[in-house]
Amino acid sequence: MGVENLDPGEPVNQDVNKVDRRRFDTLVIGAGGGGLRAALQLAQADAAVAVVSKVFPTRSHTVAAQGGMNAALANVLPDNWHWHMYDTVKGSDYLGDQDAIEYMCRAASRLVIELEHFGVPFSRLENGSIYQRPFGGQSQNFGGEQAARTCAAADRTGHAILHALYQQNIRAKTHFFDEYFAVDLIKDQQNFILGAVVISIETGQPLIIEAKTTLLATGGAGQLYRTNTNARINTGDGMAMALRAGIPLQDMEFVQFHPTGIAGKGMLISEGARGEGGYLINKDGERFMERYAPHAKDLASRDVVSRAIATEVREGRGCGPNGDHVLLKLTHLDADVILKRLPGIRDLSMTFAHVDPINKSIPVAPTAHYTMGGIPTNRYGQVVVPEFQGAEEPIPGLYAVGECACVSVHGANRLGGNSLLDIVVFGRAAGNHIIEFLGETRYHRVLDQDSVDRALEHLARWDLKGDGESVDDLRNELQRTMEDYCSVFRDHDVLDEGISKVLDISRRLEDVRLKDHSSVFNTARIEALELENLVDVACAAVNSAFARQESRGAHSRIDYPERDDKHWMKHTLYFKEGHQLDYKPVRMKPLTVEAFPPKARIY
């Protein structure tokens, strides 16, 4: 194997195609909580780390997380990590991998405390410890009374954590490429990942970033749906880059619809609102969750609450002139609770629903929120694929964490408060594993020019001139299609039609043309690249959903209303090539404790 003796971080000029090259030990793509936590671990270990982000880091979508982060600190009510593990396995509808779930729940307390030491301004209890609130799907003692496990900084926990992690990276002198967009991974013939081709949004110029390891931390794909709680940047970029590199996506049929997005608009109203005592009512003023989840009521798992709302609406008990939403009632709460614990959602309600929750209920509806599926990884963040003899062989040099990954701790349904935990736990774990890998890997491999050329061709495709459909029209059509054909309730015929519509959009993508071919801060080009990513991810979602003939977690098939453990307790793998599907077993064996075998899921 040939090697070039250059120091990491050193600009390399002898390039073919006159594309600039930079060289680092590690490339982190995405500067949300997962990417920043990993970058911090690496920078503290003196690795040369480059973080590429299409937005300035504190604009990443972690900033919008509201309610909090789960850890069994037991500051308010008795708790322990094993109960948290049970709740997470049950919440996942037994599709979560129990080794990863044990790892996450055990690490939680230590990592929340570490964030506190990083400066996160958590809300406080009288004794000065971190404030915790009840959240959906939480129990004491394996399914007993409600637990209070969610550590919160008012209802701005994501903002507090993202800013603190960025600040720590400033302290650690991490190297940032702000407003650079990652186009494609660079992969050689031996399947090693060697970095990525990125473009500077400001200049429009491509750049090759070579790295011994590459970490994808690009977040979810909420923009697949017309109404969603997500930022406009959540376009599944890392997932699609993985697909194009021949890597499958796992469990993409599982899309979480958050029960309480502002009706018709989508802004998130935190589950913390129900954790603090709020509840849902239908047009008759009935607290309907008592019928669907007699024990946990409004704090049942999100999939359960979203289905209940959708059912109320379908059966004619929705509110408003179109009967298309329900109401979230907080008016019975002390105004002080809303002002101190929920100031952010009060702002959002007043701005977007013209309602002050202190004296009027908020109109809410299930809204696309979170992608449970993603790039398959093990609990070290290594991307794993079926290859040779094993179902989970690591791809050398490639890692993924956070919403773009599927480790899988969320299985078929994520619990509220577990996503901030996921990014911190696995961001750190991936950082540690990369440090080990770097210890054994002294030199960069030779750059694969074919792979670079393919990425540059991909980019050049948008220089084509002429008439054609617009990016905007096709994206709107995709979002409407996903909303109509791959939503809360699904069945064979609807999904079948959904597949043909998404495939049609995928074909028409070739005829889309840009009118703006300028270089400097051309956001139209970025949106075109994002649309390609969304289309790739949409294909994964509809095909995976069509094939899974059961109802589990967020995937509700009207034609297969029961969970079918005999045939379907397995992970889906979708490959872009020929839209092939494959399956692999759920990792049922935890690290140290007994497995939680599947049982009926009642809240």
Cα distances from 537 to residues 335, 506, 570, 574, in angstroms, run: 43, 11, 20, 10
Q: How far is the CB of 582 from another protein (least distance, A)?
A: 35
What are residue 358's phi and psi, to 5 degrees? -65, -35
For residues 198 and 360, the answer to whether their CB atoms sit within 8 Å is no
For residues 381 and 400, the answer to whether their CB atoms sit within 8 Å is yes
d(CA 544, CA 533): 17
Q: Is 133 labeled as catalytic in the residue annotation? A: no
**Would you say 223 or 282 has its CB closer to another protein?**
223
d(CA 169, CA 171): 5
Cα distances from 355 to residues 343, 346, 352, 375, 580, in angstroms, run: 13, 8, 8, 40, 47
d(CA 65, CA 69): 9
Q: How far is the CB of 561 from another protein (least distance, A)?
A: 35
**Would you say 352 or 489 has its CB closer to another protein?**
352
Structure tokens that stand for 552 in this block: 């589990």
**Would you say 106 or 576 has its CB closer to another protein?**
106
Closest CA to 431 of 382, 396, 491: 382
For residues 186 and 449, the answer to whether their CB atoms sit within 8 Å is no
Q: How far is the CB of 29 from another protein (least distance, A)?
A: 17
Q: How far is the CB of 56 from another protein (least distance, A)?
A: 7
88 contacts: CB under 8 Å, gap ≥ 6? 96, 101, 104, 105, 409, 410, 415, 418
d(CA 62, CA 159): 7
Outline where DSSP puts E strands in 496-569: 556-557
Q: How far is the CB of 235 from another protein (least distance, A)?
A: 11
Tokens 């379908």 locate to: 314
**Would you say 70 or 146 has its CB closer to another protein?**
70
Q: How far is the CB of 468 from another protein (least distance, A)?
A: 12
Structure tokens that stand for 10 in this block: 């050193």
Three-state SS for 316-372 is CCCECCCCCEEEEECCCCCHHHHHHHCHHHHHHHHHHHCCCCCCCCEEEEEEEEEEC
- Contacts to another protein by CB under 8 A: 55-56, 58-61, 63-64, 112-113, 116-119, 121-130, 153, 156, 159-160, 163-164, 167-168, 170-171, 202, 231-233, 265, 267, 344, 347-348, 351-352, 470-472, 514-516, 518-524, 527
Q: How far is the CB of 131 from another protein (least distance, A)?
A: 8
Q: How far is the CB of 409 from another protein (least distance, A)?
A: 24
d(CA 602, CA 292): 9
Q: How far apart are the first and last CA of the chain?
A: 57
Structure tokens that stand for 270 in this block: 């935190």
d(CA 117, CA 98): 29
**Would you say 518 or 580 has its CB closer to another protein?**
518
Q: How far is the CB of 118 from another protein (least distance, A)?
A: 7
**Would you say 230 or 377 has its CB closer to another protein?**
230
d(CA 488, CA 120): 35
For residues 456 and 17, the answer to whether their CB atoms sit within 8 Å is yes
Closest CA to 256 of 480, 97, 66, 411: 411
**Would you say 513 or 570 has its CB closer to another protein?**
513
**Would you say 307 or 525 has its CB closer to another protein?**
525
**Would you say 126 or 562 has its CB closer to another protein?**
126
Q: How far is the CB of 515 from another protein (least distance, A)?
A: 6
d(CA 93, CA 56): 36
**Would you say 232 or 291 has its CB closer to another protein?**
232
Closest CA to 211 of 230, 195, 191: 195
d(CA 195, CA 447): 9
For residues 585 and 408, the answer to whether their CB atoms sit within 8 Å is no
Q: What share of the chain is helix, strand, coil (3-state, %, to 5)?
A: 40, 20, 40
d(CA 288, CA 40): 45
Q: How far is the CB of 431 from another protein (least distance, A)?
A: 18
Structure tokens that stand for 146 in this block: 């409600």
Helix pair angle (98-117, 81-91), 10° resolution: 120
**Would you say 123 or 282 has its CB closer to another protein?**
123
* Residue from 37, 244, 274, 302 carrying the catalytic annotation: 302
Catalytic residues: 302
